[in-house]
Amino acid sequence: MVPKENQVFTLVEIFKKMILNQLIQLRQELHQTPEIAGEEGNTASKILSFFSKMGPDEVIENLGGFGLAFIFKGKTAGPRTLFRAELDALPIQESGNPSYKSKIDGKGHLCGHDGHMAIICGLGEKLAGQRPEKGELVLLFQPAEETGEGARRILEDPKFQRIKPDFAFALHNLPGFPLHQLVIRKDTFAAGSIGMTITLTGKTSHAAHPEAGINPANAIAQLIQTLPQLPEKLNGFALVTVIHAEIGSLAFGTSAGRGYLSLTIRAFDQEELDILIQRIEEKVKSISESEKLIFEISYREEFAVSQNDPEAATIAESTMKELGFDIYDKPEPFRWSEDFGLFSQSGPAYLFGLGSGENCPQLHEPTYDFPDELIETGVKLFEAIARKINQ
């Protein structure tokens, strides 16, 4: 007996619903077992298991750490297009109370990386059902996004040459914007940033005879006053934020001989960010020498500027319009940073936002939870972009 047309349509809809439910279930399982940067082994295993039924043409494991790449090949030569999700969670205690609340004390998927992973898994389901006509599609699961280490490790891994893309795409959910709204920007999407710690070493002495020592207090006071003013000499947006300062210890009989100052430095332009860092280093050197201090500078959590490529933007944004999405073209870049920025500094890339609701708790808040409704939206858009380039 041949099923009627409406019956076939119903079966298709039922199958789509089953797939979506599987993705929601996966997202909630990932939410329950978060792993922070550098510890994503079990998360990677869950993703690997989910993809095992899809039969990708090639799988690359341990990419830049616990990273994974799944490759779906077309019938003929063509461009290589990469879509990225993040594996890591945050070292923050979840205080919301979903039925799938984090089971790991002090850790939570409070940035939505669990949802981003589910979207890329959904894209994998689509590609498994229909391979691209040409080129290759790469689905990348990146470790250590939150610390700004993962992208660099992937790019420096020799295995990356196997998946180096002609185009790379990523999204990030954005609380405060209407659910399903797409937030776009040409040129700079998000700032680059870096954490700097300045260590100043002098000489301790008795507090009754501070002249016998070299106390870094005056130097740190000067740096706190002058460093945040350096961005004023640049053309574009830049910001130096003092986040921590420490001098000596709580010993009232001792004049301090060592001090620390930590800053976050950010800018919308990569060249200006580099210039600002150089000027800060010069100012630290100058003040340290005048105060007879030895200085050391260390860096961590380095994020490149997320720069959207014009051709990649045209492809993505034309697809968004064809699908009839609500689109908001943001007049200014975001001040926060994203590790995807390093991909954009190494090749054509495009990052955009996906609204997760105007009343959704902000990212990194302990009550945040990724809206499952966004999974289908993300899959639909990513698949359409993939088909446009590789069909």
11: CB partners within 8 A, 6+ apart: 3
Annotated binding-site members: 111, 113, 146, 172, 364
Give the C-alpha separation, 321 to 356, whole Å.
19
* β-bridge pairing 76-86 and 167-174: parallel
pLDDT of residue 323: 98
Give the C-alpha separation, 4 to 57, whole Å.
35
Share of the chain above pLDDT 70, in %: 97
Tell me the Ramachandran region of residue 385: left when phi exceeds 0, alpha when psi lies from -120 to 50, beta otherwise: alpha
> Is 291:214 a contact under the CB 8 Å cutoff?
yes
Q: Render pLDDT for 51-88 as a digit per residue (tens, 0 to 9).
A: 999 999 999 999 999 999 999 999 999 999 999 999 99
Q: Render pLDDT for 249-261 as a digit per residue (tens, 0 to 9).
A: 999 999 999 999 9
DSSP E strands, 43-201: 58-63, 67-73, 76-86, 134-142, 167-174, 182-184, 187-190, 192-201
* Across 289-295, average pLDDT: 98
143: CB partners within 8 A, 6+ apart: 37, 38, 40, 44, 64, 65, 66, 67, 86, 87, 88, 150, 153
| Both tokens assigned to 135 | 């080129």
Strand partners, 53: none
Cα end-to-end span (Å), the chain: 35
Q: For the chain, which domains are there?
A: 5-190+305-390 (3.40.630.10), 192-302 (3.30.70.360)
Give the C-alpha separation, 321 to 351, whole Å.
16
pLDDT exceeds 60 at position 3: no
197: CB partners within 8 A, 6+ apart: 260, 261, 262, 263, 297, 298, 299, 300
pLDDT of residue 273: 98
* Across 167-172, average pLDDT: 98
Q: Give the predicted TM-score (pTM) of the model.
A: 0.93
| Both tokens assigned to 43 | 């998360």
pLDDT of residue 6: 58
Give the C-alpha separation, 310 to 318, whole Å.
12
8: CB partners within 8 A, 6+ apart: none
pLDDT of residue 19: 87
Give the C-alpha separation, 190 to 233, whole Å.
21
Q: Render pLDDT for 199-239 as a digit per residue (tens, 0 to 9).
A: 999 999 999 999 999 999 999 999 999 999 999 999 999 99
Handedness of CA 74, 80, 86, 87 (dihedral sign): positive
pLDDT of residue 317: 98
| Both tokens assigned to 42 | 């079990």
Annotated binding-site members for Mn(2+): 111, 113, 146, 172, 364
| Both tokens assigned to 149 | 């280490």
pLDDT of residue 16: 79
Average pLDDT score over the chain: 96
> Is 180:326 a contact under the CB 8 Å cutoff?
yes
Give the C-alpha separation, 140 to 356, whole Å.
22
Give the C-alpha separation, 169 to 348, whole Å.
9
* Across 24-42, average pLDDT: 98
Strand partners, 82: 138, 168
pLDDT exceeds 80 at position 186: yes
